[in-house]
Amino acid sequence: MGPDSAPGPAAPWRKVLWERQSFPDNYVDERFLGELRRNDGVRQYRYWAVVKEAGVVGQQLSCVAIFIALWLYMEQGLLSPEALLWTSLTVGLLGYALYAALRPRLGSNGEPRTPLADLQTAAIFLSFTFGFSPVLKTLTESVSTDTVYAMSALMLLAHLVSFPYAHPSPTGSLSLNAALFASVCLASRLPGALHTFAMLSCALLMFALWPCLLQSIRDNAPGPSAWLCAGVCLGGVGGLGSRWPGGAALLALALLSVTLLCPLLLVKLQRHKDNIQGPWDEAEIHEDLCHIPY
């Protein structure tokens, strides 16, 4: 009841606006709260289903850790650029074969892309990267090393924050650009131009092509994709731990928190959700307004 409600007029109250009634504007009857609905349409989460979805976040953290570990190996002279290039080429070919087997690729006109078209695209990217490697190598010579490391850390953080985890393919432009910018900053601190080319090629493979393959595996083989994410997480912790044990410990703690603790908190707090709907909500128009003549 409203504060100015009048007791018992002859005509019953109706919830209409186009008709003058003998009731105050703020009057409602006892049926008002009868239309109250609680948690209508709320999605109920299962713990292991949330863990599986959170694994995508964990594997992306591990991808960044693997990239940093590879850079540490090259920066310390423990990994040659030739070995990294041949490894990237082998992994890229295997990944392309798996991607082509799982999902046919379509061009801009809807026609399937041929392997020759994909080869031409890859050749263009690699040619430009190789040609500009000497320029990228000297790009940050006038910038202090601490500033380069700070920019790289900030850009990798922006990559993780802006990454489209729900649909990793195609990779978001902000996420991909941030990761490539960080790769250029780190690669410019390596000894030679070939090191820069190898590091940038690895970055393209890891930050641009791997999300597409992961999305294809998730769509066609959900079970193996979970084990694949777990393998990437273990590889990230192991690779980073071989050169930076403290960073590996922080990564392991972050992975446990993201993939196990946060889903548990979400499921536990779901029982306390109290969302109410009723006649006081804004009206929702479900009709297609495009067919209404003007």
DSSP string computed for the chain: --TTPPS--SSPP---SSS--SS-TT---TTTGGG-EESTTPPPP-HHHHHHHHHHHHHHHHHHHHHHHHHHHHHTTSS-HHHHHHHHHHHHHHHHHHHHHHS--B-TTSSBPPHHHHHHHHHHHHHHHHHHHHHHHTTTTTS-HHHHHHHHHHHHHHHHHH--SS--SSPPHHHHHHHHHHHHHHHTTSSSHHHHHHHHHHHHIIIIIHHHHHHHHHHH-HHHHHHHHHHHHHHHHHHHHHH-HHHHHHHHHHHHIIIIIHHHHHHHHHTT---EE-TTSPP---S-GGGS--
pLDDT along the chain (294 residues), means of 10: 51 78 78 74 84 90 94 91 92 89 58 74 86 86 89 94 81 87 92 91 91 86 83 91 90 94 90 76 63 55
Residue 255: per-residue pLDDT:
94
Residue 111: per-residue pLDDT:
59
Residue 109: per-residue pLDDT:
52
Residue 1: per-residue pLDDT:
47
Residue 283: per-residue pLDDT:
61
Residue 199: per-residue pLDDT:
93
